[in-house]
A = this chain, B = another copy of it.
């Protein structure tokens, strides 16, 4: 299969280029009778949309969506939902200078090499604009997950070399309030201020910087994940790595865990007298053991490289392989992570929704 679908039973297919008529997504397999809260969906899209603040790109796109199918009297019907987001503010002319040039660390050359044709305007299909469709689909997944009590929270835990401490609170509502009160979407107020100032400096220098987003999934039932290949953390990893600019994924103890000893790393279970439950003293496993959720918090972290478009002129090559120069202009994010928080949550919601459904076929036989 071509690569524009994700998920098995809660399955999305996204489409659309940066400067076409619209981008969008088809969701096939969303269960019926889910109430659709259109304001909630728009709210999710607004967290990702450009032009939010001085530390994001100044492009303005309203990212208003339309649901074309799959709902009746505002409830899902079990048939495919098609959602489109028309493109606006398309200054296609802005990209004429890129037509015959391969920009450094962009996908220009690779799309040309693969397909023999390339929509150069705004990166075409390789533009992060595509992720708006993911956020819309993720919002539907979140509405579905609300019934089961699963909660997902991501925030910016690192920008450049600045690292935020683990949030001290476990109250996600509280953390969300803090996160949404600062431009960088960090759950730590002090580090947030530091990050904003840092990004602002980067922006003024015409440069960009990478960052990290941490995510926790709470109240996920035990049993999700399909060994041996579709392990829950492997699916989360693929979901995150498929997001533009992501260069790394770790869950639980992650890379740090590879430096530890077994006697330190093992999560010792606590006696609860409840055979259906697993509680552990530590959670280096990140809520997943053998690829299956154990009911503890699922934790993971994602690393984003710096945005490739900078405001400096850079040497590069043209389509003939000859030397060229790329001008530093356009409207771009100095750091992608503040807007990417919504994308991380959306992809996490899609993975959990899909695995909730996949796990149904296993559970089927318990009660018989």
Determine how close the nearest CB of chain B comes to the CB of A22; give it in whole angstroms: 5
Known pairs A212-B255, A242-B291; A24 contacts B109 (CB<8 A): no
Q: Mark A102-131, 1 if CB is under 8 A from B, else 0.
A: 101111011101111111000011100010
Which residues of chain B are near A321, meaning CB under 8 Å?
Answer: 271-277
Chain A 283-322 near chain B by CB (<8 Å), digits 1 or 0: 0111011111111000000011111111010111101111
The answer to whether the Cβ of A56 comes within 8 Å of any Cβ in the partner chain is no
In the complex, A144 Cα to B4 Cα: how many Å? 20
Q: Is the CB of B68 within 8 A of A271?
A: no
Q: How many residues of A contact B (CB 8 A)?
A: 163
- Copy number in the complex reads 4
Shortest Cβ distance from A220 into chain B, in angstroms?
Answer: 12
For A110, the chain B residues whose CB sits under 8 A away are: 222-223, 225, 278, 288-294
Q: Which residue of B lies closest to A355 (CB)?
A: B3
Verify if A153 is at the interface (C-beta below 8 Å from B).
Answer: no
A32→B267 contact, CB < 8 A:
no
Inter-subunit contact B314/A268 (CB<8 Å): yes
Question: Is A70 interfacial (CB 8 A cutoff)?
Answer: yes
Question: CA of A273 to CA of B17 in the docked complex: distance in angstroms?
Answer: 30
Q: Which residues of B contact A307 (CB under 8 A)?
A: 262
A214 at the interface (CB under 8 A from B): no
Residues of chain B within 8 A of A316, CB atoms compared: 268-269
Q: Is A138 an interface residue (CB 8 A)?
A: no
B16 to A69, Cβ gap below 8 A?
yes
Of B130, B223, B309, the contact of A114 (CB 8 Å cutoff): B223
Beta-carbon nearest neighbor of A305 in chain B: B257
Query: Does residue A51 face the partner (Cβ distance < 8 Å to B)?
Result: no
A66's partner among B21, B106, B267 (CB-CB below 8 A) is B21
Q: A219 on the interface (CB 8 Å rule)?
A: no
Is the C-beta of A247 less than 8 angstroms from some C-beta in chain B? yes
- Within 8 Å CB of A111, what residues of B? 290, 292
